[in-house]
Structure 1
Amino acid sequence: MTMSAVVMRKGGLELIETPIPRPGPGDVLVKTLANGICGSDLHAVTHGAELVDGFRAVTGADPFDLNGQVVLGHEFCAEVVENGPGTRGTHAPGTRVVSAPFLLREPQPVLLGFGGVDTPGGYADYMLLSEDLLIPVPDEVPTDTAALTEPLAVALHAVNRGSLGSDDVPVVIGCGPIGLAVIAVLRMRGIGPIIAADFSPARRAMAATLGADIVVDPRETSPYDSWRSVAAVSDPARFGRQTVSFPGFGFRPSVVFECVGVPGVIQQILGGAAPCTKVVVAGLCMEQDTFYPTFGVLKEIDLVFSISYTLEEFGQAIGHLAAGELRVDPLITSRIGLAEVPDAFARLADPEQDAKIIITPNAR
């Protein structure tokens, strides 16, 4: 038996037929129902060598084989088809599930979405998942929405890394899918007002839809001026952390989320942000970057970096969707089949066309 899959090889994408993988001990064979295209998928195709080099430099391992056939896709909702040997049969065939994109194998887990045709990601009709990581999707959560669990977990982790208090005023720089998801999480937690900035009119409109209170085009309005307009307070008890360089700074605390991942943005934030701001870097920059430490030192800015999530945060993300606390359906702007994936990658280069594209592999 064979299945269709889109494989990445040497910077290109190709639709192929390949054998359906067979579940090993602890594995569950699932049919892919929906899979989101992630920015890291785009990076893997367009900047694969840089991604591999950076990953190897940090971890000592390669995330994928540049010359092999890689089946992308780590934002998925799937349906149980067959419980493999050694499983408990916890989830009956037909059950919709999500999972953190890892396949529990020895000596180390497989990172799904960056493996080969034997351990494919969601750009394929079928996948293998680990029974121990499966989370059933509640009936009230649509399949396409369930596929957003993974990027929402990324955003939830970024917001958690920010450790925001109830009186903090957040600024989101960059309204791509992760920036938009961060806005949705902030809105869910009642933190605001939320300032968002992006050059794209379509993304600014989406940011407002998902809960941003003030949305600016940074070519025309500084997001940091907008922050000052709403964060100023007269009650010293509400002042953010004070420093000797900026005594009596009469503003609420500030947290800035960098969701762009382009060289120069961190320095722009250090230059524009208020003293004692916490900056959460969630954008994945594929190039070397530079900034002036003096800006951060004199302002006593906290700079933290964020990627991925914990398994607990992943479970919380699907829980928030099930409870109706995270309303993110507007993020989905297109639905496509496997044959349309190469065209979708080209469309995603234009922020005016799409935010999140969902692949439905088994739709024919």
Structure 2
Amino acid sequence: MRAIVRRGPALLLADVPEAVPGPGQVVAKTLACGICGSDLHAVHHLEHGVEMGLRSGAADTIDASSDLVLGHEFCAEILDHGPGTAKNLKAGTRVVSTPFAFSELGPELIGFSTRYRGAFAERLVLTEALLLPVPNGLKSEAAALTEPLSVGTHAVAAANPGPRSVALVVGCGPIGLAVIVALKRRGIGPIIAADFSPARRARAERLGADIVVDPAATSPHASWSSLDVPATLAEFGLAQLSGRTLRDAVIFECVGVPGMLQNLIENAPPTAHVVVVGACQEDDRILPVIAINKQLRFTFVFAYTPAEFAETLQALGEGEIDADTFLTGEVALADTPAVFTRLETPGDDVKIVVQPWR
């Protein structure tokens, strides 16, 4: 069958062995698979990603010298069942799944495993117990958004904002927009969204951001005082002495580049909760004493829970999320390497979906 293979620091269209389900697994036809920033990073920096995983305590599931089929944001159609399956979902059912398979090493991430190929392929093997049927006729490209949107669901759950929280989302790529959606679904506002791209700012506004900022022209932190959030230690002290009722700031860092944490430490209002969603994979430096003086709180988040994944799928299926705002392109398998090359230069795209059946 055909697949997009990462071979060395390059992607190519190649024939790979057929997907064969083992016990408790199904084989499925890939209908749609989104391109993630982690996929882009893996093409040229897989070895570094493997090192970061091992240093984090993850299992050694990737042989960087072997061919790798990426793709973990997928919607697929069940073709057949392996031995020992319950067959609760019949062949022909469209499904999504948290992108995990299980081996003697424990859970392995589909698309970032040498043993379990990802969804940039015509067919893939999935774990039956993790499958969720696509609800309410939701189109496959929108269903494939379940995985990245669940990251936003999890980030907001970890932030646990209250009814008087004011949110700032820094970076309006796929994850930043997913955070905005999750905040709106919880009724949190106002929401400030900051991005250099006019197209992404427009999408943030369409999804419910109340204040949209171009950081090249205006500081994302310019509105705190007007929203009853003391912007400085001096303002915070006066507000406490006067007994004013204050609002709290929750900031979502969705960029993931060196310097962002220190920038937020210097500009965030006192007592702010900073939720780090952007995955910076380079060494960085911060000056902790400023964060200490401001009593800032940092939470680093990763992925989502199965319940958050199911909740996000349900929200998509019930029309609570405008999926079309995220979808900016669809490509055939053969065109995928060229699209990866184009996406290496930041632009206005949010989520491009690969359709391996084309």
SS of residue in 2 equivalent to 1:170: strand
Cα distance in 1 between the residues matched to 2:348 and 2:247:
36
Query: 1:186-214 CA deviation, whole Å, 9 max, x = no partner?
Result: 12222111101111222112211221111
Query: 1:103-146 CA deviation, whole Å, 9 max, x = no partner?
Result: 13334122101123x52111000010011000000133111100
Matches within 5 A, 1:23-172: 23-59=21-57, 61-116=59-114, 119-172=116-169
Cα distance in 1 between the residues matched to 2:258 and 2:137:
41
Are the equivalent residues in 1 in contact too, given 2:197–2:348 (CA < 8 A)?
Answer: no
Are the equivalent residues in 2 in contact too, given 1:202–1:351 (CA < 8 A)?
Answer: no
Are the equivalent residues in 1 in contact too, given 2:61–2:108 (CA < 8 A)?
Answer: no
Q: Which residue of 1 aligns with 2:16?
A: 18
Cα distance in 2 between the residues matched to 1:351 and 1:43:
13
Cα distance in 2 between the residues matched to 1:154 and 1:9:
28
Cα distance in 1 between the residues matched to 2:174 and 2:346:
10
Identical positions, percent: 48
Matches within 5 A, 1:210-249: 210-229=207-226, 231-232=227-228, 246-248=237-239
Are the equivalent residues in 1 in contact too, given 2:270–2:294 (CA < 8 A)?
Answer: yes
Matches within 5 A, 1:284-323: 284-323=279-318
Are the equivalent residues in 2 in contact too, given 1:347–1:354 (CA < 8 A)?
Answer: no
Cα distance in 1 between the residues matched to 2:323 and 2:85:
34
Task: Measure how far apart 1:353 and its partner are.
Answer: 4.0
Task: Measure how far apart 1:245 and its partner are.
Answer: 7.0
How large is the RMSD of aligned CA atoms in angstroms?
A: 1.9
Query: 1:70-102 CA deviation, whole Å, 9 max, x = no partner?
Result: 110000000000011000111101000000000
Q: Which residue of 2 aligns with 1:253?
A: 248
What is the TM-score with the length of structure 1 in the denominator?
Answer: 0.93
Gaps of 5+ in 2: none
Q: Which residue of 2 aligns with 1:345?
A: 340
Aligned length: 353
Instruction: Decide whether aligned partners of structure 1 residues 318 and 243 sit closer, same or farther in structure 2, where only a CA change above 3 A counts.
Output: farther
Q: Which residue of 1 aligns with 2:4?
A: 6
Cα distance in 2 between the residues matched to 1:115 and 1:108:
12
Query: 1:297-353 CA deviation, whole Å, 9 max, x = no partner?
Result: 011000010111111111111011112222232111000011111111122233334
Between 1:326-335 and 1:244-253, the stretch displaced more is 244-253
Cα distance in 2 between the residues matched to 1:223 and 1:312:
33
SS of residue in 2 equivalent to 1:109: strand
Q: Which residue of 1 aligns with 2:269?
A: 274
Are the equivalent residues in 2 in contact too, given 1:174–1:196 (CA < 8 A)?
Answer: yes
Instruction: Decide whether aligned partners of structure 1 residues 325 and 136 sit closer, same or farther in structure 2, where only a CA change above 3 A counts.
Output: same
Q: Which residue of 2 aligns with 1:329?
A: 324
Query: 1:254-281 CA deviation, whole Å, 9 max, x = no partner?
Result: 0000000000001111111110000000
Cα distance in 1 between the residues matched to 2:136 and 2:58:
42
Task: Measure how far apart 1:50 and its partner are.
Answer: 2.0
Gaps of 5+ in 1: 234-238
Are the equivalent residues in 2 in contact too, given 1:203–1:352 (CA < 8 A)?
Answer: no
Are the equivalent residues in 1 in contact too, given 2:39–2:70 (CA < 8 A)?
Answer: yes
Cα distance in 2 between the residues matched to 1:330 and 1:209:
8
Cα distance in 1 between the residues matched to 2:237 and 2:357:
59
Q: Which amino acid aligns with 2:336?
A: V
Are the equivalent residues in 2 in contact too, given 1:28–1:83 (CA < 8 A)?
Answer: yes
Task: Measure how far apart 1:63 and its partner are.
Answer: 4.9
Cα distance in 1 between the residues matched to 2:313 and 2:35:
18
Task: Measure how far apart 1:244 and its partner are.
Answer: 11
Are the equivalent residues in 2 in contact too, given 1:245–1:298 (CA < 8 A)?
Answer: no
Cα distance in 2 between the residues matched to 1:327 and 1:245:
38
Cα distance in 1 between the residues matched to 2:285 and 2:350:
29
SS of residue in 2 equivalent to 1:155: helix
Cα distance in 2 between the residues matched to 1:61 and 1:132:
22
SS of residue in 2 equivalent to 1:50: helix
